[in-house]
């Protein structure tokens, strides 16, 4: 960006450069006689201004200045000149739109205030992916990322659209003239209009290709489906119908094939005779595995063998021919098969990884079980993953051979996701005209000749069809903030199409999609499902194609061979709940989001089992302030090395396997993301696992930001659990040995429950509302969408890694994770803990060992926010009455009254109070400087104007979204009607698609929360301290018999 | 036809006419003055009743029927169209006309009007009494001093002047430690009281009256022209903000009114400059870069306090004037209330909640009756209106 322009600092510099130059050299035009004045003692003593006088004057002036400063500043207030009809300042508007970034897809609502998008909400009308995950909830923040590409780049320099268009057209023409290929490289395209546009664009060239590649490839899986059904698409899974679910390595609650199934899954997890049973075979501890009723540890290379055994068991039961089996997990597979057979068509087997044989076996098993259209839908196929590895490899070959004249990339960052492919970079550089359509100056954009600055999804139009008959629309909710254009507009320009993309979509929809449905209605709803008549037609079509058969014997043989030569140490590539594949990596909310399993934020790391860690001499240890540290290792896969990877010891990790998440270790994603983690993609091929050699780095130390030190509940009833049999057949409370006994205290009045042992006067909670919240531990799967939703609703600050290491996290809502321990007080005797332990292991050793999670632990998730105690310990210790109780059962926190003594936090048994150690907003100093969330002018646009931004030195905590309860009440008053259940929802509740969180007025006897309060599973957290919280939990029921 | 007799024939409900006039006609018509449309005070003398009914209900029909008067008046007002009011019944129109007659009558001056001079005299009375009292006391002091001196001279003692007496008294008093203590306490109390009062007044801007970019007169618009507050500040009923109207709202009337009674075209032309209106041609200027009007904000609560207009205006049925004062009399708006927390709380303690008329409160009211007795008046405080978190979150 060489510029030869000369700038003047003022008109005088232009008119009299000499004078200005002289002035610049000499800051003080004449010498100040300081020496003369201070050096002369007599002179000094003869002055009339003594030191005292000086202080007097200074004191007076300071006081005067202070008093003068008491005058209020003048605020200007600028109304619209012509007010848009739909905007009433102070009232939120909601728009239905869709999110798709090449990996995550969701139908969502966007809340805007005064024209600014500020929050993502789930679109409850949507039949497919109506639940936003953590990333989608956080995506609104990326709109306000100033490190987004703000204008196009031509040949490495900032430019404008007309020069970019000219350059691109020139490149395309040159490619066409030379007879070379013109290629559009994208992730899976699920937009019908975008697809049509790409085809239209391609029609202008004699040698055009559209290649798609998923950032986390399922190419082999797709090939398997193509071979089995003739259609290269995955089915839609219906978990709502499943009664027995066997997952072999599929992390369907976390990151699997893009279909959001957690809501459907949760409907089967409501305890009762019909509760589903979920068995999980997996290598690393995944979100899905931690929710399973029974989890088995196997290596990823052995998934195939498990599937073969499952197949054999089911086949022999059905009287079909079985194949030769494997000794791996034989007994477990037999038990699993029995349960699958019992469930019949309501059984479901899913498998993970990117492996054709395994998928074939899985298809065959599901066919044998006869669950087609019950739990596996062939009629409605999902198009969320379409990437084609072979086509991509061909493309790389062509690029290398110089056959590609122009390459346009969109929604995909191939230079990053293919960083393990050493050929790719060289091949890319050989393309004479490469254009990256990107929101960031990311890895690919830096390689490309030109960068077309792309608009954010909240600034763009779009349409999607993620599965057969399921459609959704994307509409802009704000004008582009920068000089950007959406991909489709670029394509239209480059293919010489006039008009706007929205008209293109409309024409496309009116021609083939809408039928008699009104466009405006679809735009309002955001989603559209085609009528049943069309669906039937489609079914017939697929059945015709489904005649293709698969060679199962060959698949089984290959699966067994893979299992046999399973590597001694296997590296599995995973995705972190908060990061996914890293498409929106530069997001402080996501980076600070503690992983549900490890509770580590601001990092990716190598998960390893305790046994392997011991063998390799790797450690995790805590500093004196509790901060977690870990050793680091160098990883070697197929000759590629990744250095200084921190190690995290993960209970439940299969021995002989390690796991590393992709999405981190960025270069060009933005100022914050670039400093975090290591790039796992540099080791990853198309498979999701690889053989790895691990070399410990001597004397290495890596600091983690892990916010939970306790791994287990240490024998306490923090999360209560019961198995399904006991739940169904035994009493919850029968004196003392029920499965949900409240604590009983011996008093002079006889034994009393914690509720009745009471020092305080009770509040009147009969009158008006009494807000309560129920959290069903059976339905919560730990996904963390609520944490991000809370973050964005309540202006929760981001504090950065250093502060997180000091446990100064600000999340109002955290999800505690506990592992089960092998040792309990009940089985202490069997394990040889006796007495004081003078001769061997004693009670103290027992308690110490209870803190160690077992090697195959059960996992518990527990969302904990302010419990809104009706006898709140925090309220009684506040010296300034900044935290007080409301007549509606909430514990209020008054920031402007708080003086920051932190007594309340110390006295809180739930540790939910958060202290502002620094000014986290408007603070660009040091470690806070990179954080743009509410920290620069643009980042502050995302703030919720109804919630105060807290300053340094005050305490804050969950308010139960009081701004929402107050609004709900006001709307009811304005209407003059009683408030109905469900009209007020907290942010966490509305983000939770499993329905684990129920919030409402327990004085309303028709409310869900009232029913949940009467449920026999209801218990209060730490009921023995007698705080009488307004939040209560439902006992977790695991579908196990023992 | 004799004009006077027309006026006698009209019989209507003046009260209903007034409310109809204010809701339907007042935006364009006034009784005594020509605004968008003609002054209506003497309209019944100018026109026949039947003609008026026809014109008001649907003037376009009347014009198309070729009525010469109708066409003439249409042309007189540059073809600006008066909307049709088909919803008004004949009686409604009669009511309105009755009101125009009533309103045009010269008002009788009511003696003892609160705005009259009686109140002022009363206030002066107090201070006059005080002066008189002071004068009497002074007279007594002088009288006593004279009496003392007279007695002294009768006795043969030396007489002292009043100044000498005062001197002796002061000296003795200042030597007395008790007096000094009391004096110190009094001075200290007064000092600290003053410091406290002054500090409490920091950032309390009662009476703040900044000059605005446009000399907009609420006295004229809300007072004289009786425009409803919510017409311009439409957000107050629905939202937390009572928005400052956008310039296009001004233009609803000022497309036709381009001259004000006080500043002529000067101030109104500032609106035109903001929106880009060519007053001569009577149309918007194409491609004009609109400039928002930079009003100076008068009422500002700190960010830590949540205030919602809709809660007070719609749910609470509080008059705008309760907090904003006699807006309709303000030529230039000033901050009427202190907007301090104490002020909010005082009102919440005293204000009754409309538990009877709003069925949102139905169940709550039943419980509250149990708690406070059936006859008790339910104040905002009783339903939790003093709790910190209701306004601070």
Q: What is the pLDDT of residues A101-160, one digit of tens each?
A: 999 999 999 999 999 999 999 999 999 999 999 999 999 999 999 999 999 999 889 999
CA distance A121 to A109: 5
Indicate yes or no: CB of B294 within 8 angstroms of CB of A75.
no
B285 touches chain A (CB under 8 A): no
Q: Once rounded to an integer, what is the mean pLDDT over residues A52-57? A: 85
- Write the pLDDT tens digit of every residue in A1005-1038: 999 999 999 999 999 999 888 899 999 999 999 9
Q: CA of B300 to nearest chain A CA: how many angstroms apart?
A: 9
Residue span of the structural domain in which B164 resides: 118-200
- Write the pLDDT tens digit of every residue in A480-525: 999 999 999 999 999 999 999 999 999 999 988 888 889 999 999 9
A77 interaction partners in chain B (CB closer than 8 Å): 244, 294-297
Residue of A nearest to B213 (CA): A76
Q: Once rounded to an integer, what is the mean pLDDT over residues A436-449? A: 94
Q: Are B98 and B123 members of one domain? A: no
Indicate yes or no: CB of A970 within 8 angstroms of CB of B308.
yes
Instruction: Answer whether A395's CB lies under 8 Å from A211's CB.
Output: yes
- Which one of A79, A940, A947, A1002 makes the best mutation probe of the B interface by having the most chain B beta carbons within 10 Å? A79
Tell me which of A971 and A1042 has the higher pLDDT.
Answer: A971
Which one of B200, B227, B255 terminates a domain? Answer: B200
- Which one of A68, A768, A922 makes the best mutation probe of the B interface by having the most chain B beta carbons within 10 Å? A768
Q: Where are the beta strands (DSSP E) in A420-524?
A: 433-438, 450-453, 462-467, 470-474
Please count the structural domains in chain B. Answer: 3
Instruction: Answer whether A815's CB lies under 8 Å from A596's CB.
Output: yes
B367 touches chain A (CB under 8 A): yes
Predicted pLDDT of residue A44: 65
Q: What does the angle CA A739 – CA A743 – CA A744 come to, to the nearest 5 degrees? A: 120
Q: Is A744 exposed, middle or buried (0-12, 13-18, 19+ CB in 10 A)?
A: middle
Q: Which of A328-332, A710-714, A755-759, A1010-1014 has the lowest mean pLDDT?
A: A755-759
Indicate yes or no: CB of B296 within 8 angstroms of CB of A74.
yes
Q: Is the pLDDT of residue A3 over 60?
A: no
CA distance A552 to A690: 24
Q: Is the pLDDT of residue A14 over 80?
A: no
Which residue do the tokens 């530069």 mark? A586
Q: How many Cβ atoms sit within 10 Å of the Cβ of residue B316?
A: 19
Q: Are B151 and B100 members of one domain? A: no
Interface confidence (ipTM) of the complex: 0.84
Which one of B51, B74, B104 terminates a domain? Answer: B104
Predicted pLDDT of residue B7: 46
Beta sheet of A116-122, edge-to-edge order: A93-100, A105-113, A116-122
Predicted pLDDT of residue B1: 39
Q: Provide the token pair at A634.
A: 């160098």
Indicate yes or no: CB of A894 within 8 angstroms of CB of B389.
yes
Instruction: Answer whether A178's CB lies under 8 Å from A66's CB.
Output: no
Q: How many Cβ atoms sit within 10 Å of the Cβ of residue A982?
A: 13
Indicate yes or no: CB of A978 within 8 angstroms of CB of B384.
no
Task: Please state the length of chain A.
Answer: 1042
CA distance A771 to A989: 13
B353 touches chain A (CB under 8 A): no
Instruction: Answer whether A672's CB lies under 8 Å from A145's CB.
Output: no
Residue B112 lies in a domain: no
B390 touches chain A (CB under 8 A): yes
Q: Are B224 and B134 members of one domain? A: no
Nearest to A269 by CA among A857, A994, A816: A994
Q: Once rounded to an integer, what is the mean pLDDT over residues A902-908? A: 95
User: Fold for domain A721-820+857-1038?
Assistant: Alpha-Beta Plaits (3.30.70)
Indicate yes or no: CB of A90 within 8 angstroms of CB of B303.
no
Predicted pLDDT of residue A973: 93
B363 interaction partners in chain A (CB closer than 8 Å): 978, 1003
Q: Is the pLDDT of residue A741 over 90?
A: no
End-to-end CA distance of chain B: 70
Predicted pLDDT of residue A32: 61
Instruction: Answer whether A245's CB lies under 8 Å from A276's CB.
Output: yes
Q: Are B48 and B170 members of one domain? A: no
Q: Which of A77, A890, A973 sits opposite B389 (nearest CB)?
A: A890
Q: Are B225 and B361 members of one domain? A: yes
Q: Are B268 and B182 members of one domain? A: no
Instruction: Answer whether A505's CB lies under 8 Å from A462's CB.
Output: yes
CA distance A98 to A696: 45
Predicted pLDDT of residue A36: 63
Residue B283 lies in a domain: yes
Indicate yes or no: CB of A972 within 8 angstroms of CB of B297.
no
Phi, psi of B377 (to 5 degrees): -90, 130
B291 interaction partners in chain A (CB closer than 8 Å): 81
Q: Which of A72, A887, A949 sits opposite B387 (nearest CB)?
A: A887
Residue B113 lies in a domain: no
Tell me what the pLDDT averaged over chain A comes to: 90
Q: How many Cβ atoms sit within 10 Å of the Cβ of residue A1041?
A: 10
CA distances from A785 to A133, A577, A990 (A): 5, 9, 10
Task: Please state the length of chain B.
Answer: 393
Q: CA of A259 to nearest chain B CA: how many angstroms apart?
A: 38
- Interface A-B: count of C-beta contacts within 8 A: 159
Phi, psi of A358 (to 5 degrees): -60, -40
Nearest to A769 by CA among A870, A890, A868, A892: A890
CA distance A1026 to A758: 7
Residue of B nearest to A961 (CA): B393
Quick one: CATH architecture of A570-706?
Beta Barrel (2.40)
Per-residue burial over A1008-1034, b if 16 or more Cβ lie within 10 Å, else e, is: ebbebbebebbbbbbbbbbbbbbbbbb
Indicate yes or no: CB of A767 within 8 angstroms of CB of B371.
yes
Residue of A nearest to B317 (CA): A974
Cα dihedral A1010→A1013→A1016→A1018 (10° resolution):
150
Beta bridge partners of residue A181, listed in sequence order? A404
CA distance A406 to A398: 12
CA distance A795 to B41: 58
Q: CA of B339 to nearest chain A CA: how many angstroms apart?
A: 14
Report which DSSP code applies to A454: B
Q: CA of A902 to nearest chain B CA: how many angstroms apart?
A: 18
Residue of A nearest to B271 (CA): A81
Q: Once rounded to an integer, what is the mean pLDDT over residues A32-47? A: 65
Q: Provide the token pair at B284.
A: 């918007």
Which residue do the tokens 């002071």 mark? B134
Q: Which of A886, A893, A973 sits opposite B384 (nearest CB)?
A: A886
Q: Where are the beta strands (DSSP E) in A493-631?
A: 527-529, 570-575, 600-601, 606-608, 620-622, 628-630
Residue of B nearest to A888 (CA): B384
Indicate yes or no: CB of B388 within 8 angstroms of CB of A892.
yes
Predicted pLDDT of residue A43: 66
Q: Are B350 and B236 members of one domain? A: yes
Q: CA of B124 to nearest chain A CA: how many angstroms apart?
A: 35
Q: Report which listed range, A8-22, A195-209, A321-335, A837-851, is most confident.
A: A195-209
Indicate yes or no: CB of B274 within 8 angstroms of CB of A81.
yes
Q: CA of B282 to nearest chain A CA: how many angstroms apart?
A: 18
B392 interaction partners in chain A (CB closer than 8 Å): 892, 894-897, 948
H or E segment and range at residue A199: helix A192-203
Q: CA of A91 to nearest chain B CA: how many angstroms apart?
A: 6
B236 interaction partners in chain A (CB closer than 8 Å): none
Q: Which of B245, B290, B358 sits opposite A973 (nearest CB)?
A: B358
- Outline where A2-115 has alpha helix (H): 11-15, 17-25, 34-39, 41-46, 51-69
Residue B208 lies in a domain: no
Q: Are B80 and B162 members of one domain? A: no
Which residue do the tokens 């990744």 mark? A642
Phi-psi region of A667 (alpha: psi -120 to 50; beta: other; left: phi over 0): beta
CA distance A720 to A759: 27
Q: How many Cβ atoms sit within 10 Å of the Cβ of residue A511?
A: 9
B388 touches chain A (CB under 8 A): yes
B315 touches chain A (CB under 8 A): yes
Which residue ranges of chain B lie beneath pLDDT 70? 1-9, 35, 107-125
Residue B135 lies in a domain: yes
Beta sheet of A693-696, edge-to-edge order: A689-691, A570-575, A657-662, A606-608, A640-649, A632-637, A693-696
A887 interaction partners in chain B (CB closer than 8 Å): 383-384, 387
Indicate yes or no: CB of A768 within 8 angstroms of CB of B364.
yes
End-to-end CA distance of chain A: 71
- Write the pLDDT tens digit of every residue in B241-261: 999 999 999 999 898 888 888
Indicate yes or no: CB of B239 within 8 angstroms of CB of A948.
no
B368 interaction partners in chain A (CB closer than 8 Å): 767
Q: Once rounded to an integer, what is the mean pLDDT over residues A779-801? A: 95
Which residue do the tokens 């006067």 mark? A761
B300 interaction partners in chain A (CB closer than 8 Å): 75
Q: Is the pLDDT of residue A648 over 50?
A: yes
CA distance A358 to A248: 9
Residue of B nearest to A894 (CA): B392
> What is the domain-level CATH number for residue B88?
1.10.760.10
Q: Are B231 and B375 members of one domain? A: yes
CA distance A694 to A641: 10
Q: CA of A970 to nearest chain B CA: how many angstroms apart?
A: 6
Q: Are B282 and B342 members of one domain? A: yes
Q: Are B128 and B97 members of one domain? A: no
CA distance A168 to A162: 10
Q: Are B91 and B163 members of one domain? A: no
Nearest to A523 by CA among A850, A123, A184: A123
Q: Domain residue spans in chain A?
A: 11-67, 237-250+262-375, 570-706, 721-820+857-1038
A1003 interaction partners in chain B (CB closer than 8 Å): 363
CA distance A244 to B86: 69
Residue B393 lies in a domain: no
B393 touches chain A (CB under 8 A): yes
Quick one: CATH architecture of A237-250+262-375?
3-Layer(aba) Sandwich (3.40)
């Amino acid at each position: 960006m060489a510029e030869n322009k000369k700038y003047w600092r003022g008109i005088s510099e232009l008119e009299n450069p000499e004078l200005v130059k002289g002035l610049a050299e000499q800051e003080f035009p004449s010498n100040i006689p300081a020496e003369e004045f201070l050096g002369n003692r007599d002179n000094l003593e003869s002055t009339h201004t003594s030191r005292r006088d000086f202080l007097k004057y200074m004191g007076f002036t300071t006081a005067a200045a202070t008093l003068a400063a008491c005058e209020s500043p003048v605020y200007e207030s600028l109304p619209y000149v012509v007010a848009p009809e739909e905007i009433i300042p102070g009232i939120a508007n909601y728009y239905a739109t869709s999110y798709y970034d090449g990996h995550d897809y969701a139908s969502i609502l966007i809340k805007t205030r005064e024209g600014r998008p500020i929050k993502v909400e789930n679109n409850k009308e949507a039949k497919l992916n109506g639940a936003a995950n953590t990333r989608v909830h956080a995506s609104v923040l990326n709109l306000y990322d100033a490190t987004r590409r703000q204008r196009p780049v031509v040949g490495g320099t900032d430019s404008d659209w007309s020069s970019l268009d000219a350059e691109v057209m020139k490149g395309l023409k040159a490619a066409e003239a030379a007879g070379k290929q013109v290629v559009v490289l994208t992730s899976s395209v699920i937009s019908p209009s975008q697809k049509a546009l790409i085809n239209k664009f391609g029609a202008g060239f004699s040698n055009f290709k559209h290649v798609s590649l998923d950032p986390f490839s399922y190419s082999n899986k797709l090939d398997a489906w193509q071979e089995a059904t003739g259609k290269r698409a995955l089915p839609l899974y219906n978990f709502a119908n499943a009664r027995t679910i066997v997952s072999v390595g599929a992390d369907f609650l976390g990151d699997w094939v893009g279909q959001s199934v957690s809501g459907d899954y949760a409907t089967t997890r409501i305890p009762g005779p019909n509760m589903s049973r979920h068995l999980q075979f997996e290598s690393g501890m995944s979100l899905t595995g931690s929710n399973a009723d029974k989890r088995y540890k196997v290596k990823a290379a052995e998934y195939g063998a498990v599937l073969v055994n499952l197949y054999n068991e089911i086949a022999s039961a059905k009287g079909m021919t079985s194949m030769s089996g494997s000794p791996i997990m034989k007994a477990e597979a037999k038990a699993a098969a029995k349960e699958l057979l019992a469930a019949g068509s309501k059984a479901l087997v899913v498998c993970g990884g990117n492996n054709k044989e395994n998928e074939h076996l899985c298809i065959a098993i599901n066919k044998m079980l006869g669950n087609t259209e019950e739990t596996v839908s062939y009629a409605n196929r999902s198009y969320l993953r379409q990437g084609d590895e072979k086509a991509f490899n061909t493309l790389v070959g062509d690029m290398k051979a110089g056959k590609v004249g122009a390459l346009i990339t969109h929604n995909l960052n191939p230079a990053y996701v293919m960083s393990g492919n050493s050929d790719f970079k060289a091949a890319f550089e050989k393309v004479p005209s490469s254009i990256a359509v990107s929101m960031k100056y990311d890895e690919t954009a830096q390689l490309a000749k030109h960068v077309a600055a792309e608009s954010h999804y909240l600034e763009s139009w779009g349409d999607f069809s993620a599965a057969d008959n399921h459609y959704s629309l994307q509409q802009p909710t704000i004008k582009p903030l920068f000089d950007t254009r959406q991909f489709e507009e670029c394509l239209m320009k480059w293919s010489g199409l006039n008009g706007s993309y929205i008209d293109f979509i409309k024409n496309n929809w009116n021609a083939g999609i809408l039928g008699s449905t009104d466009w405006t209605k679809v735009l309002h709803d955001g989603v559209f499902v085609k009528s049943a008549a069309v669906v039937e037609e489609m079914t017939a079509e697929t059945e015709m194609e489904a005649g293709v058969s698969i060679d199962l014997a060959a698949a089984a043989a290959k699966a067994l061979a893979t299992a046999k030569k399973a590597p001694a140490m296997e590296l599995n590539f995973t995705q972190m709940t908060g990061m996914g594949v890293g498409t929106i990596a530069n997001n402080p909310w996501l980076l600070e989001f503690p992983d549900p399993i490890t509770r580590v934020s601001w990092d990716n790391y190598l998960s390893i089992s305790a046994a392997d860690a011991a063998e390799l001499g790797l450690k995790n240890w805590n500093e004196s302030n509790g901060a977690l540290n870990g050793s680091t290792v160098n990883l070697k896969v197929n000759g590629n090395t990744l250095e200084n990877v921190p190690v995290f010891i993960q209970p439940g990790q299969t021995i002989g396997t390690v796991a590393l998440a992709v999405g981190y270790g960025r270069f060009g994603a933005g100022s914050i993301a670039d400093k975090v983690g290591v790039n796992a993609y540099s080791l990853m091929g198309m498979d999701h696992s690889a053989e790895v050699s691990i070399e410990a780095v001597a004397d290495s130390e890596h600091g983690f930001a892990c916010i939970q030190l306790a791994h287990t509940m240490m024998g306490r009833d923090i999360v209560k659990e019961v198995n399904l049999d006991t739940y169904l057949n035994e009493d919850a409370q029968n004196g003392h040995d029920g499965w949900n006994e409240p604590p009983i205290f011996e008093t002079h009045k006889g034994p009393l429950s914690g509720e009745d042992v009471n020092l305080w006067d009770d509040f009147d909670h009969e009158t008006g509302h009494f807000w309560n919240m129920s959290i069903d531990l059976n339905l919560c799967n730990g996904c963390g969408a609520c944490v991000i939703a809370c973050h964005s609703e309540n202006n929760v600050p981001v504090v950065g890694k250093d502060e997180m290491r000091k446990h100064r996290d600000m999340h109002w809502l955290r999800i505690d994770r506990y592992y089960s321990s092998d040792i309990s007080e009940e089985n202490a005797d069997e394990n040889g803990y006796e007495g004081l332990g003078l001769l061997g292991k004693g009670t103290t050793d027992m308690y110490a060992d209870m803190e160690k999670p077992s090697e195959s632990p059960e996992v518990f998730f527990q969302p904990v926010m302010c419990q809104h105690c009706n006898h709140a310990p925090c309220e009684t210790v506040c010296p300034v009455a900044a935290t007080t109780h409301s007549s509606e059962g909430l514990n209020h926190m008054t920031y402007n009254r708080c003086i920051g003594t932190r007594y309340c936090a110390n006295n809180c048994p739930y540790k939910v109070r958060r202290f502002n150690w620094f000014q986290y907003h408007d603070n660009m100093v040091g470690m806070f400087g990179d954080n743009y969330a509410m920290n620069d002018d643009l980042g502050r646009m995302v703030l919720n104007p109804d919630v105060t931004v807290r300053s340094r030195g005050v305490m804050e905590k969950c308010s139960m979204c009081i701004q929402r309860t107050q609004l709900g009440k006001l709307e009811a008053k304005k209407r003059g009607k009683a408030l109905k259940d469900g009209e007020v929802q907290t942010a966490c509740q509305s983000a939770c698609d499993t329905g684990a969180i129920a919030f409402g007025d327990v004085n309303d006897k028709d409310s869900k929360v009232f029913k949940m309060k009467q449920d026999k599973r209801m218990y209060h957290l730490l009921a023995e301290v007698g705080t009488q919280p307004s939040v209560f939990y439902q006992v977790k029921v695991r579908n196990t018999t023992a | 036809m004799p004009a006077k007799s027309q006026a006698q024939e009209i019989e209507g409900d003046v009260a209903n006419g007034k409310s109809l006039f204010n809701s339907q006609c007042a935006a364009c018509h006034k009784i005594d003055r020509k605004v968008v449309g003609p002054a209506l005070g003497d309209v019944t003398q100018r026109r026949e009743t039947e003609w008026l009914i026809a014109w008001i209900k649907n003037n376009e029909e009347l014009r198309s029927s070729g009525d010469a008067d109708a066409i003439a008046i249409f042309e007189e007002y540059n073809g600006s169209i008066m909307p049709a009011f088909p919803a008004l019944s004949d009686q409604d129109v009669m009511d309105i006309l009755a009101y125009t007659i009533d309103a045009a009558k010269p008002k009788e001056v009511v003696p003892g009007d609160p705005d009259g001079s009686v109140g002022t005299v009363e206030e002066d009375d107090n201070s006059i009494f005080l002066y008189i009292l002071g004068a009497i006391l002074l007279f007594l002091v002088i009288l006593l001093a004279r009496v003392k001196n007279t007695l002294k001279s009768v006795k043969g003692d030396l007489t002292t002047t009043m100044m000498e007496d005062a001197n002796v008294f002061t000296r003795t008093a200042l030597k007395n430690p008790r007096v000094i203590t009391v004096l110190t306490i009094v001075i200290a109390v007064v000092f600290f009281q003053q410091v406290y009062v002054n500090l409490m007044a920091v950032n309390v801007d009662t009476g703040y009256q900044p000059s605005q970019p446009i000399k907009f007169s609420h006295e004229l618009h809300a007072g004289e022209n009786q425009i409803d507050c919510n017409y311009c500040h439409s957000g107050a009923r629905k939202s937390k903000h009572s928005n400052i109207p956008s310039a296009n709202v001004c233009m609803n009337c000022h497309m036709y009114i381009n001259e004000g009674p006080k500043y002529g075209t000067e101030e109104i032309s500032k609106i035109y400059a903001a929106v880009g209106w060519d007053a001569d041609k009577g149309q918007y200027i194409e491609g004009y870069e609109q400039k928002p009007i930079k009003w100076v904000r008068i009422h500002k609560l700190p960010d830590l306090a949540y205030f919602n207009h809709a809660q007070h205006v719609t749910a609470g049925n509080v008059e705008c004037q309760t907090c904003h004062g006699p807006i309709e009399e303000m030529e230039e708006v000033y901050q009427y209330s202190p907007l301090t927390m104490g002020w909010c709380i005082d009102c919440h303690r005293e204000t009754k909640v409309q538990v009877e008329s709003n069925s949102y409160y139905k169940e709550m009211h039943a419980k509250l009756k149990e708690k406070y007795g059936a006859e008790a008046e339910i104040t905002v405080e009783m339903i939790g209106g003093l709790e910190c978190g209701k306004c601070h979150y």
